[in-house]
Amino acid sequence: MYINGDLVLTQMVRGDLSDWQDYGIALGNEWTGDRPWLGEIYMVAIFSRALSADEIKMNYGV
């Protein structure tokens, strides 16, 4: 896992995403909308594969 272009966690997670069709993604708040978030989101990207360290740096602009 990378945060702000820095590697913070390396861990192998077993499984796949084949049964995730019933799940959504909420950014900046709970699904209920009752926890307002005051931050800023500059970029969100979801990839179909893991990116290399060089690709992470390129995307983050390091």
pLDDT at site 62: 58
Buried b (16+ CB within 10 A) or exposed e, 38-55: eeeeeeeeeeeeeeeeee
pLDDT at site 31: 82
pTM for this model (two decimals): 0.55
Q: Look at 28 and 62; give whichever has higher pLDDT.
A: 28
pLDDT digits (tens, 9 = 90+) for 5-61: 889 999 888 888 788 778 788 888 878 888 888 888 877 888 888 889 999 888 887
The whole-angstrom distance between residue 24's C-alpha and the CA centroid of its chain comes to 13
